[in-house]
Structure 1
């Protein structure tokens, strides 16, 4: 599959709060945003930038939701992923402040993105590369395994600093490269896969929001699962029971396919979630076995 190449630079604007799977990108030619396909067009900021959502990965949340109910996952690994992304693209110094804003040195670094389009929210979803792109900006190029291995997306998975999270449309050979990187990191017990860290498929007890957010004892889980649990718990903050979580997931209507049955799609994450005793939650499949379908 060919993807659009856009050349530009990465820069963290004032008051921005970058995380481990999104990065501000400034194309050399702002008109290049018009070349990005998708049902919803990308609308850049007045300075030409737009946020790029990294394809195929999901890092722990440093901030999710709207004020006054913004929440985060355990921050050590969330910050580590965010810092690693910025350093990988070329920033030599990354200083994170108490309000989650970041100061970098140098102010900007050159790089490029490889994109197959914008998502339903109008965000550019892309593979992130550094320095010089493989072809001229505004042209398409075939993304080989070798090219993919030199992206921030694959790098973060290889360190165990992000979870694989795939959507339909990602070519199978690229998905395989990313899956392998995640599985090798899991075997090496790196990042979220270190002993006793990730609890997504092992199971974790939910006793309230702090059981998902506490920096020392909060459960480290797939960010998509965290987001669904956060939204569910906020419906009734006084009751931490997750007995009705499967029904909530059915209503959320996430559509996906399992690698074990690729021709069949199902709706609702309750198909891959187990809840026991009204308190313990676990996913029954590893993240790379699931392919989500955008509506």
Structure 2
């Protein structure tokens, strides 16, 4: 015998029927939300890729003229300060004429103070090229103890994009020359592919092999000079997004003294000395910056 449905049974059945479409609606909404998120991520990745810029410097000069600089945070003398140098180089990048800005951040001060930042500095005397020392990055520091140091981090952007909408630039084929490492001071260059010293250098270094890229410490002798060729090192980079330069005191005899450091983004020449290179200098040449990550490498000995 069949049992008649009560009014309560019919109400429950109606309720179940009414809930099913709601569940289906929630599923459709969830799927639509997932699709929207995936579409956003695809667009974001596409925009990021299209914004990427690579520029071949060709081992030519990158000029840090303080007259073009703008203080973004502070004035460079404290940790976290950042200074933007406008128009440090102009190159054709991916077929497009591109002007490059450089951001220098004071990323660490350990038992050290910055006495002079680009103004009234004393590291650079006349160089051996046609360029003047105006385009060197220069700081004077005082360290309170052995090992006291200052770190400066360099990054590069398409002109006018930093800080509102930064477009980072990867540089290819770059040289950076640290000058005036003397009087028991030291300089550390990060992520270099090779380094060059004079055959009669007064610098010692801690590179013990193991391949490149490498971070290397160069320590000055007790002698004191002004932009002496024997007290400089040139680092080469096949590709460079950012790097750190540390300057510091390597001996207690220099504690409390004002010490001078400079960095020139170029090869300053070695005459009358002879250059001696450790590692291999490569020239990187991209085949296609848009459709292919492939590149050509040329070895320079």
- TM interval, shorter chain, is under 0.3
Higher helix share goes to which structure?
1
Which is greater in Rg? 2
**So what's the TM-score if we normalise by structure 2?**
0.26
Higher strand share goes to which structure?
2
